[in-house]
RNA sequence: GCGGACGUGGCGAAAUCGGUAGACGCAGCAGACUUAAAAUCUGCCGGCCUAGUGUCAUGCGGGUUCAAGUCCCGCCGUCCGCACCA
């Protein structure tokens, strides 16, 4: 092949992508003697086009996958589509297209875009969750979960749009109104399917402790979400003998500080009393109105309604506490009722001060032990119990234990654990999702669809021009025979939450037999995923649900592992500055896209009228701010390798990456610079060695490898730049020629097309494999990783005063003597003897005068 | 309100264990090559001054240490998550 003076990225991209496909380069080898590496990026939703965030995510995963191949791993690196969900139905309603057609078209075009990036993906494993082959197996797993008692049906509220006759997701409710119809949203009670994730609350919490290679931030977010609280649950008796209600507290130690009891406006007792108390009914209605408005929550004013009822204090029946209905008690946490201890809870104190209720001190951290508590700041710190009868003098923990044991002994309460985590409601009253495989029969009740009748396939002939769930309205689909009695019955018309689809796809990538969800033996080989990469927006729900499914399948004996993702990495966003002009009072600014703009050193102008525009902050690329850059346009202009290189450069991968035209141009120039260097693999000069360059080369081999392994791509990029600089500056030698050759392999994971092109242009004897995709990562020579001379800093009183170059590994006395012999140091010391000399071998000498 | 992360040149950032702060890139400046431009190459590129192997500098103020961007305490700011969780 004749070597072109410039690297033709477009032709090369297509050529090597075809070559990899022809050679089936990225299929797993399934050779047992190689260690496995399962590299997975979160699969995309097929929204239409890929965006720069995808490019960054998949570039990172790809570098790691290619590096693992080069270092002798059997790599599983698959791609698929999270293909069910609401946008497809929205498109159907807006554009009159079919959700399935819209989704499949999007997949086709996005697949094409991803392939242009040259990703080392085993495309034979591609899957889409909207494919019956996939969701049919999901239905089978759902039936298994049902059989294992992990699926239940419960009544639950949904947001109901009375105009569109549809259920709305929380994010579709804006200021209490449906986003499309603008109608006031109602709460409607429906019978829905739930997965019992709360059965695993403790396991999911404990399991976080073992996830060492997950970001602390994500573990903390999951911990808070699961929200374990331990405390006491007990019953209040109403004065007068009527049945009371249960309360939960995490502070049973403060029980003698109780001055009122409070129940939620949604508490059944409050609702019952409201039936013959119009004022209470009005108060409850008022609380519910406020609940929807975000600003009201911000201000957080405590409101209450005195029911006139009183309850007995459990440890002192003579003491009666008033019962209030209170807006800050939530029905869906704990028991929906509390006792108020204003001295030691800020919310209770705010409330008590407003309604002039008594405030009793029961915890003291100083000499101040007065029963009457003053001030507007509750004391929530440590201390000893006071004014609390048999608890006096105990620590908080001792008092908690004493109360719990007394309550349990006397039978009026018990120690309990309360979780913030709720069971996972998976019913969606929508068409474009996995049909829930159940049948409702008048005589037999709710019956699972027999497995041999799976998949329950979505009907294609659906109509989105009328409102409501198309499955429910479909003329024939839902009418079936009961599998149990053979009588008339109807199908469940709810579909599964799309988070179910993404809770097990990593298993199906590893193994996808046609007759069952996966083959346990194959799953055993590949799972867990060694490195999972995706956006932090999935820190809670997706990652928690996937962990739950893995544990559930483990409990059912279907898989060996309990955690699906051994190592998790959450990457930052791609950002861009914004360009806008003010449109005057009360109007939003007018935004411009980057291609409408001419950027100069100190500002930006609109190309069309050459007048200035305002350059705004660097923020996440979004359509509304128009600060988006289309990956296809970048690939057309610069090719895949420049785009990949820029994505990996400069910013640490967990941080946001500011996209800039100058940045991608810099990447492009570097691609060309490397191309020129790669032409020098035979230029050996006089054939001599260059020891200094050899060191730099081998340090780079080791350093770049370490950085890639740790996902420190920006550091790997910097080291490659530095090496390229060193090679360019070096005189031709055998070492330099070898460095040029080795550099091709060092950049191969990041710039695979350039590397293949350079590899193919090498003389045959220099190529050890046909494709560089099959080449091995170079080995660093340990002897060359350390320098034999070191520069040692000489400090006086911590300030740098001189440096000296010495042989590596000299003992402290020699180094100290050398430092003190330096003329500059002698001059500064002026003949005085230093008080102290600290020597850090091979690093520095610090002289304390 | 609670929890967390972060704060280093004009910009993105390095500094792996407390040991020479600013590697590498972008932008900029000066020069070479060129009829010219692009490309390419060379050099410079935190502040201050008395111009030195000077001095100050890692958000601000303290502390520990021979030595602090790094550890500790207190502020300020930015971003993220959760939010009346009993």
Query: What's the Å distance between residue A764 CA and nucleotide B8 C1'?
Result: 48
* Closest nucleotide relative to residue A572's CA, C1' based: B80
In the structure, what pLDDT confidence band is assigned to residue A171 with cuts at 50, 70 and 90?
low
Buried b (16+ CB within 10 A) or exposed e, A571-606: bbbbbbbbbbeeeeeeeebebbbbeebeeeeeebbe
* Closest nucleotide relative to residue A303's CA, C1' based: B84
pLDDT in tens, A70-107: 999 999 999 999 999 888 988 888 888 999 999 999 99
In the structure, what pLDDT confidence band is assigned to residue A328 with cuts at 50, 70 and 90?
confident
Q: Provide the token pair at A534.
A: 């995706």
Whether CB of A835 is under 7 Å from strand B: the answer is no
Q: Provide the token pair at A442.
A: 């008048």
Query: What's the Å distance between residue A589 CA and nucleotide B3 C1'?
Result: 35
Count of CB atoms situated within 10 Å of the CB of A698: 21
pLDDT in tens, A261-284: 999 988 999 989 989 889 999 888
User: Where is average pLDDT lowest: A67-76, A120-129, A602-611, A679-688?
Assistant: A602-611
In the structure, what pLDDT confidence band is assigned to residue A174 with cuts at 50, 70 and 90?
low
| pLDDT surpasses 60 at A375 | yes
* Closest nucleotide relative to residue A540's CA, C1' based: B81
So what's the pLDDT on residue A297? 43
Show the CA angle centred on residue A147, arms to residues A146 and A152, nearest 5°.
30
So what's the pLDDT on residue A446? 94
* Closest nucleotide relative to residue A262's CA, C1' based: B86
So what's the pLDDT on residue A644? 96
* Closest nucleotide relative to residue A350's CA, C1' based: B84
So what's the pLDDT on residue A672? 94
Query: What's the Å distance between residue A380 CA and nucleotide B65 C1'?
Result: 37
Give mean pLDDT, residues A48-53: 92
| Cβ atoms of A189 and A154 closer than 8 Å | no
Whether CB of A229 is under 7 Å from strand B: the answer is yes
pLDDT in tens, A530-584: 999 999 888 888 999 999 999 999 999 999 999 999 999 999 999 988 888 888 7
Whether CB of A525 is under 7 Å from strand B: the answer is no
Using a 10 angstrom Cβ sphere, with 0-12 exposed, 13-18 middle and 19 or more buried, the burial of residue A467 is middle
Q: Enumerate the nucleotides of strand B whose atoms come under 7 Å of any protein CB.
A: 3-5, 11-16, 19-21, 23-28, 39-42, 53-56, 66-68, 80-86
Angstrom CA distances, A240 to A82, A142, A847, stand at 59, 50, 85
Count of CB atoms situated within 10 Å of the CB of A327: 23
Higher pLDDT, A609 or A489: A489
Count of CB atoms situated within 10 Å of the CB of A725: 12
Whether CB of A15 is under 7 Å from strand B: the answer is no
Whether CB of A283 is under 7 Å from strand B: the answer is no
Query: What's the Å distance between residue A280 CA and nucleotide B83 C1'?
Result: 27
Whether CB of A669 is under 7 Å from strand B: the answer is yes
User: What span, in angstroms and rounded, lies between the C-alpha atoms of A208 and A223?
Assistant: 8
Q: What is the CA radius of gyration of chain A?
A: 34
* Closest nucleotide relative to residue A710's CA, C1' based: B16
One-character DSSP codes across A90-116: HHHHHH---HHHHHHHHHHHHHHHHHH
pLDDT in tens, A525-535: 999 999 999 99
Whether CB of A801 is under 7 Å from strand B: the answer is yes
pLDDT in tens, A464-498: 887 778 898 888 999 999 999 999 999 999 999 99
A80: β partners = A127
Whether CB of A179 is under 7 Å from strand B: the answer is no
Give mean pLDDT, residues A803-818: 86
Q: Which of residues 338-357 of A touch strand B (CB under 7 A)?
A: 338, 345, 347
pLDDT in tens, A56-65: 999 999 999 9
So what's the pLDDT on residue A602? 65
Residue A425: which of A486, A358, A500 has the closest Cα? A500
Whether CB of A87 is under 7 Å from strand B: the answer is no
């Amino acid at each position: 092949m004749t070597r072109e003076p410039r690297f033709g990225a477009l032709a090369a991209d297509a050529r090597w992508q075809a070559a990899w496909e022809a050679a089936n380069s990225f299929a797993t080898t399934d050779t047992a003697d190689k260690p496995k590496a399962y590299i997975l990026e979160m699969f995309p939703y097929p929204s239409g086009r890929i965006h720069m965030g995808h490019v960054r995510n998949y570039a990172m995963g790809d570098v790691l996958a290619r590096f693992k191949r080069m270092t002798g791993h059997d790599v599983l690196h698959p791609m698929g589509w999270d293909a069910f969900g609401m946008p497809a139905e929205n498109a159907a309603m807006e554009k009159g297209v079919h959700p399935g057609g819209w989704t499949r078209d999007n997949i086709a075009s996005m697949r094409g875009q991803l392939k242009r990036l040259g990703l080392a993906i085993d495309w034979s494993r591609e899957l889409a969750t909207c494919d019956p082959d996939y969701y049919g197996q999901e239905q089978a797993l759902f039936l298994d979960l049902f059989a294992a008692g992990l699926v239940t049906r419960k009544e639950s509220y949904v947001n109901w749009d009375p105009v569109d006759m549809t259920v709305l997701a929380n994010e579709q409710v804006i200021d209490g109104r449906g986003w499309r119809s603008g109608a006031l949203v109602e709460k409607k009670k429906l019978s829905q399917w739930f997965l019992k994730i709360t059965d695993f609350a403790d396991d999911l919490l404990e399991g976080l402790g073992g996830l060492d290679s997950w970001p602390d931030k994500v573990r903390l977010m999951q911990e808070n979400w699961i929200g374990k609280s331990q405390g006491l649950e007990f019953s209040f008796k109403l004065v007068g003998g009527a049945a009371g209600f249960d309360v939960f507290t995490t502070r049973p130690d403060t029980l003698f500080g109780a001055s009122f009891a409070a129940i939620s406006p949604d508490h059944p007792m409050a609702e019952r009393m409201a039936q013959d108390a119009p004022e209470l009914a009005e108060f409850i209605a008022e609380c519910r109105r406020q609940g929807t408005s975000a600003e009201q929550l911000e201000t957080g004013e405590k409101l209450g309604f005195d029911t006139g009822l009183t309850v007995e204090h459990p440890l002192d029946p003579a003491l009666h506490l008033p019962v209030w209905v209170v807006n800050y008690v939530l029905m869906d946490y704990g028991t929906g009722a509390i006792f108020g201890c204003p001295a030691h809870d800020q919310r209770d104190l705010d409330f008590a001060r407003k309604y002039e209720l008594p405030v009793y001190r029961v915890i003291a951290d100083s000499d101040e032990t007065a029963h009457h508590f003053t001030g507007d700041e509750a004391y929530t710190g440590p201390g000893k119990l006071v004014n609390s009868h048999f608890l006096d003098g105990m620590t908080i923990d001792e008092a908690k234990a004493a109360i719990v044991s007394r309550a349990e002994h006397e039978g009026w309460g018990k120690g309990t654990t309360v979780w913030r985590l709720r069971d996972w409601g998976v019913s969606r009253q929508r068409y474009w999702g996995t049909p829930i495989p159940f049948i409702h029969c008048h005589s037999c009740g709710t019956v699972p669809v027999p497995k041999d009748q799976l998949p329950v396939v979505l009907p294609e002939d659906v109509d989105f021009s009328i409102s409501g769930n198309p499955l429910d309205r479909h003329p024939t689909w839902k009418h079936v025979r009961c599998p149990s009695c053979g009588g008339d019955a109807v199908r469940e018309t709810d579909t599964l939450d799309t988070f179910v689809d993404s809770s097990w796809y990593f298993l199906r990538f590893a193994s996808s037999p046609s007759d069952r969800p996966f083959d346990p033996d194959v799953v055993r080989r590949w799972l867990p995923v060694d490195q999972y990469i995706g956006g932090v927006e999935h820190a809670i729900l997706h990652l928690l649900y996937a962990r739950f499914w893995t544990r559930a399948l483990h409990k059912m004996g279907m898989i060996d592992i309990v955690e699906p993702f051994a190592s998790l990495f959450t990457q930052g966003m791609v950002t861009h500055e914004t360009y806008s002009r003010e449109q005057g009072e009360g109007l939003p600014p007018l935004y411009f896209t980057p291609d409408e703009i001419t950027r100069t050193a100190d500002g930006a102008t609109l190309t069309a009228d050459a007048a200035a525009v305002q350059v705004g902050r660097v923020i996440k690329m979004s359509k509304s701010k128009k600060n988006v850059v289309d990956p296809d346009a970048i690939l057309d202009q610069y090719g895949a390798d420049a785009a990949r290189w820029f994505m990996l450069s400069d910013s640490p991968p967990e941080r946001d990456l500011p996209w800039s035209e100058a940045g991608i141009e810099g990447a492009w120039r570097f691609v060309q610079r490397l191309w020129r260097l790669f032409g020098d693999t035979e230029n050996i000069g006089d054939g001599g060695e260059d020891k200094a360059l050899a060191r730099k080369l081998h340090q780079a081999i080791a350093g770049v490898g370490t950085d890639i392994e740790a996902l420190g791509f920006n550091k790997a990029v910097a080291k490659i730049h530095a090496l390229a600089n060193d090679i360019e500056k070096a005189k031709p030698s055998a070492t330099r020629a070898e460095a040029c050759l080795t550099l091709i392999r060092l950049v191969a994971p990041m710039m695979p097309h350039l590397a293949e092109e350079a590899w193919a242009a090498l003389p045959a004897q220099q190529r050890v494999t046909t494709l560089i995709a099959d080449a091995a990562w170079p080995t660093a020579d340990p002897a060359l990783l350390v320098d034999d001379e070191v520069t040692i800093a000489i400090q006086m009183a911590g300030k740098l005063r001189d440096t000296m170059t010495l042989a590596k590994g000299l003992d402290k006395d020699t180094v100290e003597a050398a430092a003190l012999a330096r003329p500059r140091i002698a001059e500064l010391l002026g003949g005085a003897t230093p008080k102290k000399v600290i020597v850090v071998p091979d690093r520095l000498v610090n002289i304390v005068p």
